[in-house]
Each structure stands twice: as C-alpha cells, then as structure tokens.
Structure 1
C-alpha cells in the first residue's frame, strides 16, 4: 500500500545534466549521466535539467490472462531499479495490462502539461481486427514498445518522480489508486475565469504569434530537420528491407538450382551440394539479420518519430500560451480605448478621442435605441472598468504563465535532447552490432566453402 500522500505530487527539482539508455538486466555502477547528484556549473544555469537519481525500468513476460474468454487480455511484468527516495523499495515490480499504461500516460499528460510525455503504441492495429493480437510476434512488439515508453519516462527528471509513476510500479491495489487519482487529482482544478470565457471568441487554431522568440524558432527548425531525417531514414531502410527480402528468396532459389545441377553432374555432386548448403545458410543469415536487426531498427525509428511529435506538441502549447497573452493584451487595449472614448463623450470632449467608423456606427445604433444618454454611458463605463480590472489580472496571469511555460519548455528541450542522443546511440549501436554479426557469420560460411569450390575439376 502507498502512503496517505499518494495523491500529492512532490515538488519538482532537477539534479543532473543528461540521460542515458540503461538496461535493467546489466550490472550498473552509478557513475554515468542520470546518476549524478550534482554537476559542475549546474547552479549557473537554472534552465538546465537536473536529476535526483536513477530509475531503470523494464517490461517483460507478456502473459495472456483469462484465456478462452471474451475478456482475455495480456498482462506485462514491469520492473524497476532505483535509488530515488520517493520509492519505498529499490526493486519495485508489478503486473500491468495495456489499459494501465494508457491511464498512466493520459494522466501524466494532464498533470504535467509542460513535460514531453512519450506516446504509447497505437492500439488500433490490424491484429485487433483479425483476432491475432495474442500472437507471440504481436505481444513481443507490444512489449518492446511499452518497454521503450517506460524507459523514456524513467529518463525524465520530473516524470520519474511523480507519485503516479511510483504507484504504477509499487501499488498492489492499482485500481484503487486509479480511482483515488481521478477523484483527487494533484493540484486544484482551474476555475473558469475570464480567459476561459473569451478564449472561444478570441483564439483560434490559425492565429500566429506576433512576436516569436528566436530560441523557439530555432528549436522548431531543429525538430523539423530531425523528423525529416527520421522519415527519410525510415523510407530508406524500408526499401532496404524489401530488397533484402528479395535477395533472401533469390539465394534460396539459387541454392535449389545448384542442388539440381549436382544431380546432373555426378562427378561434382558433393561439392555442389556443399555450395548449395552454403547458399541456404546465407539466405537464412539474411532473413535472420532482417528479423533481428532491420525490423527492430525500423520500429525504433517509428517510435522515435512519435516521441518527437510529443515534443513538437509541447512547443505548440508554449506558442499557445504566448498567443493567449498577446490576444488578451490586445483585448485589454481595445476595452481601455472604448472606456476612454466613453469618458471623453461624458466629459464633452468626444472629438479628442478619434472616433473610428466602428465606434461611430455603434453610437448611431445606441442613439436609435435611446441608450445614448449620460446615465447609460456612465453605467456602461462602470462595467468597462470592472472588465478592465479583470482583464488586467488575466493579462498579468497570462504573462507569468507564458514566461514560466517558456522556461519549462527550455528545460524540456534539454531533456529531450539528452534522451534523443541516448536513443540514437542505442539504436545505431544495435544496428551496427547486427550488421557486424551478420557479416562475420557470412564470411565464415563463404571462407568455409571456397576451398571446396576450388577443388572442383570438370573434364571438358
């Protein structure tokens, strides 16, 4: 059971400069990035993220529960190793189903709107329609995607210490924990204010920030280039995979043809059979390299692309915060000008306010309706004063929110950069290791058959 303070998120601090991919099964010495409690010069830059410790996660052992029933589902063993003080044990573990991961992700997005929360694998797959979602291949792909999702949460200095993540690994009554979290979310729900009341009329999806921050323009440009590179790489390796599959089939067909030739050439049947076996082995090596190297690489590329989309969403949300501030400021200016115009009319100096065509037409309409007397103007000006006071408070709040969100976004970009570098290193390292393993095995096969081929003598 978790403590009584489960529904209160701890204060967020940062402690180290980078994050690295770790394997929970490997012996780890706490000496690398992500384990450091402090860094040289970290106090000089408050926008740099800091970690309080490490959290190493894994997803293992997918098991089909309630088999042969309509409520069948797959559960996964989630494990962690940590030195974070928020956890009650250094080795928490639990079994969770996919819907639990969905709940975790959805509420982290809601509770930490400024954080880059990684996306989960798409649930609407063809396997759900064909009834093959319990196949070992699909469950393994899903396990790997969920494993990568938890790794990304664990690398994040804020998300790794949320009480919801802690409960996800430790709680023995997860369903109770979920209900408590929904009933008593961390932090108070924002009360509807003037921003909410006017946002529908002022803000729209097509509005643009009028004074963009150069730092975030550079970030968005870098994100665009990174995603474009991922898309090009995914397209290239998809084509490579298709060509490799064709080669695999061609080498298999060639091996069958060489074996048939051996039956015709009785004098060299044995060497040709050896050569045919080598071709079959090479075809199997190509197939194995595709399944163990190229396919995981493509899956990781696609997963990293979705992770980048989550990062882009945070940048877009930051722009929206700035847009809220700009639009509210403009609205406040308009209301203030309207109040000043009314004050000038009441004081008998209407000409000094520079009436526009809109204000002139509005005055004519008020005159036709009989609401242009001083009493109605005074009442209207009183209401405008109240609205101006509300707008001033809203503009101040929006400005503070925009500045705070911008600072948080800068930290998030640093966190994402560290995570991206770690994943790229892991992904390209696995690709290189797989290629080295393939070529080593292929060289051994061909070097073994070369002497046999060289001994072939054919009488003409």
Structure 2
C-alpha cells in the first residue's frame, strides 16, 4: 500500500537481515545551561562514536558481543539524543533542547555525522505527522507532554529531563530501525534541516493520504454504524493481536517482579546501613578489634551504596524500558485496529451495494408486472405511502431505477477501491509486524543485556570489596 512522503529509489526491501553496527546507549546525560555542551565522556562512547571508529562494522561485519541494529538492503541509521540544554533560562520562554546526532549511509544524508538541536515539541510534531503520513506504519510512541508518572519535581528538574531524554532516545532508535520511516522526507528534514521551522510549515501544507472524502462519508449514520465488528475476521490478525496481548501480559509480569525486587533491595540497603551502625557501636566496646570492626562497617555502607546505585543505574532504566515497550506494542495494536476499520469499510460498502441492487431489482420487477422479492417493513410502508400519494406509477419507478443505476455504478467503484485498500493495508500490516518483531527482539536483547551487565558489575564490585576486608578480619586474634 503506497503511503505519502518522499521515497528514494532504494526503498525496495526484498529481505530483512540484522547486521552489527551498534545501537545507541541510554546512559543518562547531564543538563547544561548557558549553552555549555561538553562532549560525552570517553569512558561512555555513544553508538555513533563507535560506529565512526569502526567503518567496517557499517558494512555488516559481525562482532561477537555487540548489540545488533537492523540493516535493510545494506542501509542503516544510528541516532543519538543527548546533551539536554536549558534555553532562555530564567525567562518565561525557557525550554529544553536536545542534540540529535545522526550517522547513516542513506543517500539523503550527504555528510555524516550531522547534529541538530530540537525541543520536545519538535519530536511531538514529528510523531504526529508521521502517523498522519504513514497510517499503515507502526509509528513508535513518545510520552505525552503532560505525563507525570516519572516526574520528581517540575519539568525542568534533572530527574524529569533525564527520563524524557531516555524516552526520546527510545523513540528515535525505533525510527532508525524502521525501513520506511527512516527514509521519509520528514525524518530527513528533522535530522538535518537548519531551518526546521520552514520545513515544519512545508509539511503542514502536505495533504493527508486519507484527506479526500470517500463515499462512506455520504452514507447515513444508521448504515455505517450497523456493524460494530468485522463480519469476516482474518485469522492472521487475530493471532497477531493475541500474540501482542500475551507479550504485554508477560512484560507487565516482569515489571511487577522487578518492582517487587526493587522494593526489597531498597529495604536491604537500609538494613545494611542499620547493621553498619551496630557494628560501629560494637567497635567502640571492643578496644582490641575496633579498627577491623569499623572497616567492616564501612564495607557494609559501601555495599548499601552499591545496592542504591544498582537501583538508579540498572533497575530504574530497565523498568522504564519495559514501560516503553508496552506502549510500543499498544501502538502496533492501534494500527491493527485501523486495518480492521478498513475491512469494515469494505464490508459496509458491500452490504450497502447489495441493498441498492436489491431495491433496483425490485423496482424493475414491479415495472414488468411481477411482485418482486419479499421486502422489509420499511420498504413496504414506503410503497404504501407512495400509493396513497399517487406517486407510485411506472414513470416514477423508472426515474428511481435510473438514479439507482448511477448509485450502483458509484458503489461498485467504491467497493472495488475499498477492497484494494483493505488488501493492501493488510499486506502492509504483515510487513509492519515483522519489522516490529525484529525491533522488539533487538530491544529485548539490549534491555536484558544491560540489566545482566549491571547486576554482574555490582556483584563483582561487592566481591572485590569483601575480598579486601577478609584479610583484615583474619588478623583478629581470639584467645580460646
């Protein structure tokens, strides 16, 4: 199904593969004021930086242990949202802008990397207009401007901006993975244009592919609303919806378990603080082993700190990614629901055509002296009224037949168009489901890997700390 937007000649995708250029890292990045925008620390290179340093990876070279990103016919894109900066700080016009850095081998990008700055409203514009221009695509969601689940403080607080940057990173990563959206002119302008306000006005004037009125708009509401469900559901999309529901249920289950583990870890961290205080008190009573006991208490405090860092650096991003994936799957279900509406349009038009043809045949039968097929109560009552008014003559019926013939021709064309639209939309949804599954797998691998790495790092640091304190404890002499 063709969608609006400019496309490049290499937009054909005959196969789907996964190559090894790295995806974006989601490490929190600080907020800078007064237009100070320092680079990322060298210890945390971005996916774009690592891609630049490994050009062979961009051609599909496999590196074991690296995160995967999609390669569509040899074309790829990596985007990073970073360096949030407060603009016009102290004034009523204050807002936060983000650096959007892109590296890709798409032909629409003559030079890379390219960096532009965009504010949150620009991301909202991008998402809304991609949804309008590509109705058959699963356009990834972004959090609502006024969403408050994760806010600690106002919308200019470090915690709020940190979470928003992470959500915008998820959004751009998914656009970069999508073979259609990544090549759209709107995304191209968003990632490159130095005159973004001009580009926005140009896209505002672009007509929507569904903007033209259809014959359904002229059908009475009583007929359009006669069917609330698809009469002939497609098993492929039923299974598709069921699989997404099961995935959401599983992700919500993981979310509950990790949240419970997080709560217990917070309690454990506090218990270690309390236990450290007890050992410090004991150290003052035991003059011969005061130093070892105090050092032991310090390690307990260090372990408590490690548990708190695990929560902020590993568990919290994991839960945030879980929520984002559930929202992404809900966006997919919305597109499947739109496909059902396309099929419902076809079924409604077909039923309307059948009713008009039956009425035309009935009038033709009356003109030839036959009684015609049985009619409903509404048609029977209308015929009786026409007889009472004296308008039920052969000339009136011929005029009605002529008008019905015109309506039948219009409906036949509309039914054919609705069927083609429904079929093409269904084919696009199957492709979109494949893209969604691949993107979901990549994100799940990245999310689980980051969670495992965080746990391993925390426990390794804890082991090292306890190993250093053991020799000191072993030197304690106990008289038996």
Q: Compute the TM-score of the two structures, normalised by the length of structure 2.
A: 0.86
Match of 2:131 among 109, 116, 121: 109
Q: Which aligned pairs between 1:276-291 and structure 2 lie closer than 5 A?
A: 276-291=297-312
Q: Which runs of 5+ in 1 are unaligned?
A: 1-5, 35-48
Q: 1 or 2 for the larger relative contact order (CA 8 Å, sep ≥6)?
A: 1
CA contact (8 A) 1:51 1:157 kept: no
The match for 1:37 is: none
Q: Using a 3 Å threshold, how does the CA distance of structure 1 residues 317 and 51 change in structure 2: closer, same or farther? A: farther
Residue of structure 2 equivalent to 1:57: 79
Structure 2 portions without partners, runs of 5+:
24-46, 63-70
Question: Displacement of 1:271 after TM fit?
Answer: 1.3
1:243 is the counterpart of 2:261: no
Aligned to 1:257: 278
Contact 2:227 2:348 in 1 (8 A): no
Q: Distance in 2 between matches of 1:192 and 1:366?
A: 33
Residue 419 of structure 1 corresponds to: 439
Which of residues 382, 392, 398 is equivalent to 1:378? 398
Listed as ranges, the matches of 1:266-415 within 5 Å are 266-350=287-371, 352-415=372-435
Q: Aligned partners of 2:335, 2:370: CA distance in 1, in Å?
A: 49
Q: Is 2:152–2:159's contact at 8 Å kept on the other side of the alignment? A: no
State the shift of 1:193 in Å.
2.6
Give me the whole-angstrom Cα distance separating, in 2, the residues matched to 1:275 and 1:204: 73
Counterpart of 2:12 in structure 1 is 13
Contact 1:230 1:305 in 2 (8 A): yes
Asked if structure 2 preserves the Cα contact closer than 8 Å seen for 1:120 and 1:145, the reply is yes
User: What SS class does the counterpart of residue 353 from structure 1 fall into?
Assistant: coil
Question: What is the CA distance between 1:88 and its match in structure 2?
Answer: 2.5
The Cα of 1:9 is off from its aligned counterpart by 4.7
CA pair 345-455 structure 1, distance change in 2 beyond 3 A = same
Change (3 A) 1:252 1:282: same
Q: Deviations over 1:210-244 (max 9, x none)?
A: 21222112111111111111111111111111111
* Cα deviation digits, residues 56-98 of structure 1 (max 9, x gap): 1101100000000111000000011111112232322200000
Give the distance between the partners of 1:456 and 1:386, measured in 2 at CA. Answer: 103
Helix, strand or coil at the partner of 2:91: coil
CA distance in 1 between counterparts of 2:187 and 2:76 reads 14
Kept in 1, the 8 Å contact 2:5–2:133? The answer is: no
Bigger shift: residues 196-205 or 136-145: 196-205
Say if 1:242 and 1:127 are closer, same or farther in 2 by CA, change over 3 A: closer
* 2:170 equivalent to 1:143: no
> TM-score w.r.t. structure 1 length?
0.89
Aligned to 1:41: none
Q: 2:246 — aligned with what?
A: 225
Give the Cα separation in 1 of the matches to 2:213 and 2:157: 48
Whether the 8 Å contact between 1:19 and 1:155 is mirrored in structure 2 is: no
Q: 1:74 to 1:19 in 2, by over 3 A?
A: farther
Shift of 1:131: 5.9
Preserved CA contact (<8 Å) 1:17 1:51: yes
State the match for 1:450 in structure 2. Answer: 470
Label 1:179 to 1:259 Cα distance change in 2 as closer, same or farther (>3 A).
Answer: same
Instruction: Answer yes or no: is the 8 Å Cα contact 2:190–2:196 preserved in 1.
Output: yes
Structure 1's 201 and 153: CA in aligned 2 closer, same or farther, altered over 3 A? farther
Q: Secondary structure at the match of 1:431?
A: helix
Deviation at 1:260, TM superposition (A): 1.3
Q: For 2:81 and 2:415, how far apart are their aligned partners in 1? A: 46
Matched residues in 1 for 2:266 and 2:6: separation?
A: 53
Report the number of matched residues.
Answer: 439
For 1:25, what is the secondary structure of its paired residue?
Answer: helix
8 Å Cα contact 2:5/2:184 also seen in 1: no
| Secondary structure of the structure 2 residue equivalent to 1:79 | strand
Given the alignment of the two structures, is residue 30 of structure 1 paired with residue 58 of structure 2, yes or no?
yes
Distance 1:401 1:363 in 2: 37
Deviation string 1:149-203 (CA, Å, 9 cap, x unpaired) is 1110011000000011111111110001101111234x76642131222274434
